[in-house]
């Protein structure tokens, strides 16, 4: 089964770039698994759906909106709380984009094969390439979480 691991974010908006950093850490760890593509992007909505075309599974890593527990990692379904890039005031949200893609006949992963790894941000408004300490500490944990998801899915198939 072809799997997409996609890190999302803006690398110059502090914690918003955490998905990209996790993808960067995963790339060498997954280099020997040709069925897995590790990629990065900066967009959500329709473009995020388009990136999933042709894959059987997807793991999307992204920052979630700042809240009470910066650095907290949540495994989310595509229709649960929005991450920074899975929803936008200027584009459709991920569930709507997936529905449109399926209606158009695109080969997309089924909803149960899409996992959002959300990392709660502390600062997504200020420019900077460094993370807040809580989010920096979450990067290795999120990396391990993605590897565990992949291993669990590998054992199922």
Question: Is 3-156 a CATH 3.40.50.1450 domain?
Answer: yes
pLDDT of 74 > 70? The answer is: yes
Contact assessment for residue 20 and residue 26, using Cβ atoms and an 8 Å cutoff:
no
Contact assessment for residue 3 and residue 57, using Cβ atoms and an 8 Å cutoff:
yes
**Tens digits of per-residue pLDDT, 17-65?**
999 999 999 999 999 999 999 999 988 778 899 999 999 999 999 999 8
Helix (H/G/I), strand (E/B), else coil: 15: helix
State both tokens at 105.
């006949």
Per-residue pLDDT, 84: 53
Q: Using a cut of 0.85, tell me whether the model's pTM lies above it.
A: yes
Helix (H/G/I), strand (E/B), else coil: 89: coil
């Amino acid at each position: 089964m072809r799997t997409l691991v996609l890190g999302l974010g803006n690398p110059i908006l502090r914690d918003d770039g955490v998905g990209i950093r996790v993808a960067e850490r995963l790339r060498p760890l997954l280099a020997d698994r040709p069925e897995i593509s590790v990629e990065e992007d900066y967009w959500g909505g329709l473009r995020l759906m388009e990136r999933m075309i042709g894959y059987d599974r997807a793991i999307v890593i992204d920052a979630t909106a700042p809240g009470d527990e910066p650095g907290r990692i949540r495994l989310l379904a595509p229709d649960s709380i929005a991450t920074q890039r899975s929803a936008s005031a200027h584009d459709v949200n991920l569930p709507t984009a997936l529905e449109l893609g399926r209606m158009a006949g695109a080969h997309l992963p089924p909803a149960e094969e899409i996992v959002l790894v959300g990392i709660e941000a502390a600062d997504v408004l200020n420019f900077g390439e460094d993370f807040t300490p809580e989010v920096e500490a979450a990067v290795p944990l999120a990396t391990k979480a993605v590897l565990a998801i992949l291993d669990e899915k590998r054992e199922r198939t």
